[in-house]
Chains A and B, each alone.
Chain A
Amino acid sequence: DTAVSQTPKYLVTQMGNDKSIKCEQNLGHDTMYWYKQDSKKFLKIMFSYNNKELIINETVPNRFSPKSPDKAHLNLHINSLELGDSAVYFCASSRRRGGTDTQYFGPGTRLTVL
């Protein structure tokens, strides 16, 4: 069983659309994250979410919003997509926040905005 899964794997959409990427973890972890891999291949933290507490990277536009229906899921909603949003988005989870726990990553979702 995949520990951290994301759907879809690929997403191609038009500028201005609203889209969502889903993430699920079956590890029983308390904390989940979203990362964006930018054009220079950096993995940059977008959000971390723990027990209904959301910590946002202040550089993330408010068109991006994470939504967590339960502890095992953290979905990423993106409104009014822009060309610059094209990237690979990775979800991750860890047992808790604040320790040195390993983060387990999903396989990534490649978003292409046309």
Chain B
Amino acid sequence: ILNVEQSPQSLHVQEGDSTNFTCSFPSSNFYALHWYRWETAKSPEALFVMTLNGDEKKKGRISATLNTKEGYSYLYIKGSQPEDSATYLCASQTGANNLFFGTGTRLTVIP
């Protein structure tokens, strides 16, 4: 079982603000880092899968970076919108496709 931590646990931002949150994971035996977006009453949806140190991925206003040597990933949201309100989960993968999830950062964007 891997210890994956996310911070902050919850976050409120005003519409239009940019924000970011952190995922920390053990750097040993690292294979991949996954980000998911989880809206209330829905299934978690994949955002990014990242494998290489220094990797940066972008999807619209959301982007993520990865540092495998120090064991962290940042997720950024530019110009937050109310529809961005969700819980953002990260998961570290060590191989064999088992994901070890953090508890998520719950984002609320206030109109």
A interface residues, Cβ below 8 angstroms from B: 4, 31, 40-45, 48, 55, 59, 90, 94, 96-108
A52 to B32 Cα, complex, angstroms: 25
Residues of B contacting A108 in the complex (Cβ-Cβ under 8 angstroms): 43
Is there an interface contact between A97 and B96, defined as CB atoms closer than 8 Å?
Answer: yes
Could you list 24 A-B pairs, sorted by A, with CB under 8 Å? A4-B43, A31-B97, A40-B103, A41-B104, A43-B44, A43-B101, A44-B101, A48-B98, A55-B98, A59-B1, A90-B44, A96-B97, A98-B95, A99-B97, A100-B31, A100-B51, A102-B46, A102-B49, A103-B34, A103-B97, A103-B99, A104-B43, A107-B41, A108-B43
A99 CB, min distance to chain B CBs, angstroms: 7
B interface residues, Cβ below 8 angstroms from A: 1, 31-32, 34, 36, 41-46, 49, 51, 89, 91, 93, 95-104
Most interface-central of A41, A43, A97, A101 (chain B CB within 10 A) = A43
Residues of B contacting A31 in the complex (Cβ-Cβ under 8 angstroms): 97
A21 CB, min distance to chain B CBs, angstroms: 15
A11 to B15 Cα, complex, angstroms: 38
Residues of B contacting A99 in the complex (Cβ-Cβ under 8 angstroms): 97
Is there an interface contact between B46 and A48, defined as CB atoms closer than 8 Å?
Answer: no
Q: A43-B99, A104-B46 provided; 15 other pairs, C-beta below 8 A?
A: A4-B43, A41-B104, A44-B1, A45-B98, A48-B97, A55-B96, A59-B1, A98-B95, A99-B97, A100-B32, A100-B51, A103-B99, A105-B36, A105-B44, A107-B41
Is there an interface contact between B96 and A98, defined as CB atoms closer than 8 Å?
Answer: yes
A11 CB, min distance to chain B CBs, angstroms: 17
A104 CB, min distance to chain B CBs, angstroms: 7
